[in-house]
Chain A
Amino acid sequence: MLLRLEPRGEHSRLWTYASPLLALALTVVTAAIIFSVLGKDPLQSLYVYLISPLTSTTGLPELFVKAAPLILIGVGLSLGFRANVWNIGAEGQYTLGAIFAAGLALSYPDAPAILLMPAMMVLGILGGMAWAAIPAYLRTRWNANEILTSLMLTYVAQLLLIYLVTGPWRDPEGYGFPQTALFSSNATPPMLVEGTRVHLGVLAAFLVAIIGWIVLTRSVIGFQLRVLGQAPRAARFAGFSQSRLIWLSLMVGGGLAGLAGMFEVAGPVGQLTPSISPGYGFTAIIVAFLGRLHPIGVIFGGLILALSYLGGEAAQIDLRMPNAVTGIFQGILLFFLLACDVLILYRLRGPKPAAAGGA
């Protein structure tokens, strides 16, 4: 081989932070190539994708609205991923949070907002936690792999959502569309900025990221999570309870995903429909990695991936490109990120000198 990997023997701090930037740059270059293969002007397409969504007056606020669920879910996932707890069913936990909160919003539309809003938040968190408790129980009690169980439950959650909006919760005045009635204004989170869709959930997302940062770096639990992920044997010898940390990771991840689902249906969507998520639960996995599994990094990761959603919508309108392009770019970004991360532990070297070669 032309290039070799040589262990650094330590974590490179520089590459921990440079790797996402390099990955982003490589993704943009690849995107330009894909645009030209599809017969579009690459520079103009990149402009439509990356710049134009931010130039309109609603652009920046919309970016924060789209980033809020990604940040909420991403913070929860990053804590779990650090402990090697692979909760990839956040999409399902998001859906359950939305369903639980919607149940309350539809039952008591006239309750005062001051009571209804906090109650919906609690129910959203509980819904997500309930769905995440299943893989947590199955993993800690019966040793079942949480990747597969949490993912299977995502399919079940989607079917439950479809059952509700086409069956018992369908709006009788909805002309037969599979959707519930619109939530009352009391069940809608207050807007933070006049004339935009920036709702309470955006503030919640930033608060959660800051709290997550403090927990991770300043608390014993955060320390235990980091040790469990980096040195499971050391964690065992130190007597950290593995099942307690698995439960904790899944409860935090599920609860935050549920909260994200609650804010999304109560805020920007305003009702339950079969399409309450453009894959936030899966995209948040990329957000967590891009943010270096660090709650503050997740904020930046969330904003960048939110731009990919807005760019995808703009490209759909301006360039007549299918929305699926967004998924491709998100996948490519994660590919490059994972490849660039090799530089954190290894350095690239040229071929070995001929004398030492041959091996």
Chain B
Amino acid sequence: MDQVIIVSFVLSVMTASTPLLLAATGELVTEKSGVLNLGVEGMMLVGAIVGFATTVHTGSSLLGVLAALLAGMAMSLIFAILTLTFLANQVATGLALTIFGTGLSALVGASYVGTAVEALPRVLFGQDALVYLALVTLFVVAWFLRRSHRGLVLRAIGDSHDAAHAIGYPVILIRYLATLFGGAMCGLAGAYMSLAYATSWAENMTAGRGWIAVALVVFATWRPIWLLVGAYLFGGIMYGSLAIQAAGAINLFGYPLVVPSQLVSALPYLATIVVLVVISRDRARIRLNAPACLGRPFHAAG
């Protein structure tokens, strides 16, 4: 019996952490190339509704997932053109992307509220393919950044775009590719929300997960494997907060402690703040691991 509970707990935590892991893996690659895209929340929302609408109309969840991926990429392309070609401020452009994505997804999604789709087909241990794709992608990214030549080039561009440019690496092109990869992963994260996590669409359904994913990259101090730890930690907190709400009270040494559901809902956000503080207070560690050119525009002279 206990074993069943533990297995079901692990599987639920995996479900809750998958969208965070997908989005954070994409954002990690983007940031490693020196680009700070704060539009994760907006890209996830657009991915969620495009994936959902495509699945409703075609009946194929595979097409839905692909469409979400492309939608996330299209959103990140807007960001890339503005910040990399037009040298716009990355923080402000990221915020604009989130405002735009929130509005766009609400407009498109208005006619899909109340519709349901079949959940993504399960492939292994009752989990769908995206759960495993998230894990595989993370390990591929970890290998790519640490072990491959191209990964080294990407990190070099993130750490010193002037030096990388002087050696002859195409700084802007690689930053475009890293940003588009980030967008694609956020699109997938959105698709997971609407096609697997909820199997329905609701306005603002990501509820800050995009921002938590951005925070996770800081939590991991830009190291992919720690992203896995962070995503499962937050997946656990989110699952725990849902479980407490469902139970209605916490069993505190035999005494039921009734907690307002809003306080429980606030736990993931409060945990994000706590985790950020714990990691960031070590200034040297942040400075050592953060891409040195993060958020800085690059313009080749001449």
Contacts and interface: CB of A to CB of B under 8 A. Distances in A.
Interface of A: 5, 7, 86, 88, 134, 138, 142-145, 147-149, 151-153, 155-156, 159-160, 162-163, 167, 282, 285-286, 289, 322, 324-332, 334-335, 338-339, 341-342, 345-346, 359
A285 B283 CA distance: 29
A177 to B, nearest CB: 17
A134 B269 CA distance: 14
Nearest to A167: B260
Contact of A142 (B99, B101, B270, B277): B277
11 contacts: A7-B301, A144-B273, A144-B280, A163-B262, A282-B95, A285-B92, A325-B107, A328-B104, A338-B96, A342-B87, A342-B88
Nearest to B104: A328
A232 B75 CA distance: 32
Contacts of A285: 92, 95
Given A162-B262, A324-B107, A359 B302 contact: yes
Nearest to B301: A7
Contacts of A286: 96, 99
B262 A327 contact: no
Instruction: Sort A-B residue pairs by CB-CB distance and give the 5 closest, nearest first.
Output: A327-B103, A331-B100, A324-B106, A338-B88, A334-B96
Interface residues of B, number: 48
Contacts of A167: 260
Contacts of B99: 282, 286, 327, 330-331, 334
Nearest to B83: A338
A160 B106 CA distance: 24
Given A149-B277, A289-B92, A331-B101, 11 more contacts: A138-B276, A144-B276, A144-B277, A149-B273, A160-B262, A285-B92, A285-B95, A330-B103, A334-B92, A334-B99, A342-B87
A86 B260 CA distance: 31
Given A153-B273, A327-B106, A338 B263 contact: no
Contact of A322 (B78, B86, B106, B280): B106
Query: Could you tell me the dominant secondary structure of chain B's interface residues?
Result: helix
Contact of B211 (A138, A148, A331): A148
Interface of B: 38, 78, 81-82, 86-89, 91-93, 95-97, 99-104, 106-107, 110, 203, 207-208, 211, 214-215, 218, 260, 262-263, 265-266, 269-270, 272-273, 276-277, 280-281, 283, 286, 299, 301-302
Nearest to B276: A144
Given A143-B280, A359-B302, A148 B272 contact: yes
Which of B103, B266, B272 has the largest number of chain A CB atoms within 10 A? B103
